């Protein structure tokens, strides 16, 4: 199975420019042909290309360096040397490129087929033909090609999803994702079953769909690095809306919601400002007489933070999933482009 890798470091180097050529025209009947050494070819560049066919940085675990081709030396008869071959590095959409040494963000590859030249090739040297002038009609020198650029890059993948599922471990996020989409995340009856984010496409009807992300379980202190910490929160940054999924059998569902909210606020990155809906899961295992009180308690909390009503579902039995699908559609269509 392909392992999910969302951080990698690589080294890149663009090609060196080819040296200029020193040459003279030698032709019968032309005793003073003069200089005709051509320029060197340009070095190859290193390009980043975003692809939606890849969802992990797994390949960069095995290949750590990329080098473009060097430009070739200029030739006689004022011929420019061939350019070096470019190198294209295919990365998943949503990958952010940082300079390892300075931490500077160099590129944010968010769109499919987006291209970015991360390191341009060195310019070719000038041949002696370029240096001819009235005072020196036979220059006997040329310039070397310019060196290529060398960079150490840190690749950081942040999943691109329209709506993210967040909740404490064992809230039922993976089960819900598997019922709403064709995704097949790992499901088990113990906490932290999901250790990596999972994506699925939700059919919203009327030819509409959105991407739903099941994010690994959040715990109190995640913004400080506890549990999966920033490994979780980094992938929420790019979502446009959230589903707060809470276990209905939780003894303190409002406390759970407060924990989720506090961690998003502490982490920042506008996460607490995203539109959201609160969903109470596992309705099938809660006493029917207690459920209205739980709903009312959670609804009071939600009314202070969201304009959407609280939903009650059972991801296992499918109860309430169609209503949730309609709510997701309504929320998705109202999101800014």
Predicted confidence pLDDT, tens digits, the chain (337 residues):
445 567 899 999 999 999 999 999 887 777 777 899 999 999 999 999 999 887 778 888 889 999 999 999 999 999 999 999 999 999 988 899 999 999 999 999 988 899 999 999 999 999 999 999 989 988 999 999 999 999 999 998 877 778 888 888 888 888 898 888 876 655 444 344 445 677 788 888 777 888 888 876 565 554 455 444 455 667 677 788 999 999 888 878 899 899 888 888 887 777 888 899 999 998 888 888 888 888 889 989 888 888 788 999 999 999 999 999 999 999 988 877 5
3-state helix, strand, coil in the chain (%, to 5): 20, 25, 55
Which tokens is 256 given?
């759970």
Torsion angles phi and psi, residue 183, rounded to 5: -65, 150
Is 103 in contact with 62 (CB distance < 8 Å)? no
For the chain, domain boundaries: 7-157, 163-333
Residue with tokens 């070719």: 124
Q: What pLDDT does 223 receive?
A: 47
Residue with tokens 């999924």: 245
Superfamily per CATH, domain 7-157 = GTP1/OBG domain (2.70.210.12)
Topology at the third CATH level for domain 163-333? Rossmann fold (3.40.50)
d(CA 194, CA 289): 32
d(CA 47, CA 50): 10
Instruction: Say which residues have a Cβ less than 8 Å from residue 178's Cβ, sequence separation at least 6.
Output: 184, 185, 187, 200
Domains 7-157 and 163-333 share a fold: no
Q: What pLDDT does 208 receive?
A: 80
Question: Quick check: helix, strand or coil at residue 13?
Answer: strand
pTM: 0.72
Tell me the CA distances in angstroms from 2 to 5, 56, 183, one per residue in order: 9, 9, 15
CA angle at 132 for the pair 127 and 137, rounded to the nearest 5°:
125
Q: Which residues pair with 50 in a beta bridge?
A: 91
Q: In the sheet where 276-281 sits, what is the strand order?
A: 198-205, 208-214, 163-166, 241-247, 276-281, 311-312
Is 167 in contact with 245 (CB distance < 8 Å)? yes
């Amino acid at each position: 199975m392909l392992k999910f890798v969302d951080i990698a470091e690589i080294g890149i180097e663009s090609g060196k420019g080819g040296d200029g050529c020193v040459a003279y025209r030698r032709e019968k009947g032309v005793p003073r042909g003069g200089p005709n050494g051509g320029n060197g070819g340009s070095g190859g560049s290193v390009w980043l290309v975003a692809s939606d066919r890849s969802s992990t940085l797994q390949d960069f675990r095995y290949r750590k360096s990329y080098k473009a081709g060097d430009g070739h030396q200029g030739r006689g008869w004022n011929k420019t040397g061939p350019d070096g071959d470019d190198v294209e590095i295919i990365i998943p959409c949503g990958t952010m490129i940082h300079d390892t040494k300075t931490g500077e963000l160099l590129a944010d590859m968010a769109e499919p087929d987006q291209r970015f030249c991360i390191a341009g090739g060195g310019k070719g040297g000038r041949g002696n033909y370029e240096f001819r002038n009235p005072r020196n009609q036979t220059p006997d020198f040329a310039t070397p090609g310019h060196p290529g650029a060398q960079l150490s890059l840190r690749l950081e993948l942040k999943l691109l999803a329209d709506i993210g599922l967040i909740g404490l471990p064992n809230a039922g996020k993976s089960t819900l994702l598997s019922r709403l989409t064709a995704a097949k995340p790992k499901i088990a009856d113990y906490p932290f079953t999901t250790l990596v984010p999972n994506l699925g496409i939700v059919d919203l009807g009327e030819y509409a769909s959105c991407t739903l992300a099941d994010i690994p379980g959040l715990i109190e202190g995640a913004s400080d690095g506890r549990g999966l910490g920033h490994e979780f929160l980094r992938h929420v940054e790019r979502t446009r809306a959230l589903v707060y999924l809470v276990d209905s059998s939780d003894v303190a569902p409002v406390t759970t919601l407060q924990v989720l909210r506090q961690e998003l606020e502490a982490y920042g990155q506008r996460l607490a400002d995203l539109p959201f809906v609160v969903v109470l899961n596992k309705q099938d295992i809660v006493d029917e007489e207690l459920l209205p009180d739980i709903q009312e308690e959670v609804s009071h909390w939600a009314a202070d933070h969201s304009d959407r009503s609280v939903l009650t579902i059972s991801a296992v039995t499918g109860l309430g999933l169609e209503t949730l699908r309609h709510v997701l559609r309504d929320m998705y269509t109202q999101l800014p482009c």
